[in-house]
Structure 1
């Protein structure tokens, strides 16, 4: 099952908070709560849950336009992340996690778009 990036981020924040509580990490070095605030995690999780539901509701094989529409919907819902992902220190990681998640959800729900019909070439 695809693990939502928001769940990964929540887990990382919780682990870092435990490390601070145990004295293994200083507050000054604990940056993940700032990087992944609760509101960001919650909004991302809501968008990804809606995407999962939309993909799960598609017929099999899924019409390519329906899959692309679902992807557009989740991208629009995640648009609030854009200003945050311009920081190169986190851009690559989060974008890669989100891309992998979208691909995995599509694959798990067997919603890969049906191949387009191929034109038959006839030899003269």
Structure 2
């Protein structure tokens, strides 16, 4: 199962909290809670869950159906990125989100190389048409 980036983000926050509580990290040396506030993480997670559920419901989807699901997922993430002031997807988060999308589609049996080739793009570009983050 593709690991959700939101799980990783929460793990980072929890590790910092535990290290602070154990006296292993000073407050000024923490940043994950500021990078990943729960409302931002939760909104991201809701989009990822919707995308995952949609893809899991596929039964021999057409390329158009797959790209429509990708578009809805990416546009949902665009909305999260644009509506959470002072929080956005930076390079690492963008890579994690794209890896998640790729993983969910691959697990559903979608031939991403073939899908991308039929559209005249590279596999790594399947989100690019709609992605603002």
What is the RMSD computed on CA atoms of the aligned residues? 1.7
What is the match of residue 5 of structure 2? Answer: 5
Greater relative contact order structure (CA < 8 Å, 6+ sep)? 1
TM-score, normalised relative to structure 2: 0.77
- Give the secondary-structure state (helix, strand or coil) at the position aligned to 1:17: helix
Q: Give, in angstroms, the shift of residue 92 of structure 1.
A: 1.3
What is the match of residue 119 of structure 1? Answer: none
Unaligned runs of 5+ in 1: 117-124
Q: Give, in angstroms, the shift of residue 112 of structure 1.
A: 3.3
1:108 and 2:76 matched: no
1:68 and 2:36 matched: no
The 5-angstrom pairing of residues 36-115 of structure 1 reads: 36-60=36-60, 62-79=61-78, 80-82=80-82, 84-85=87-88, 91-112=90-111
Count, aligned residues: 111
Q: Give, in angstroms, the shift of residue 75 of structure 1.
A: 1.0
Please say if residues 16 and 30 of structure 1, whose CA atoms lie closer than 8 Å, have aligned partners that are also in contact.
yes
Cα separation, 2, equivalents of 1:6 and 1:38: 10
Which is higher, the Rg of structure 1 or of structure 2?
1
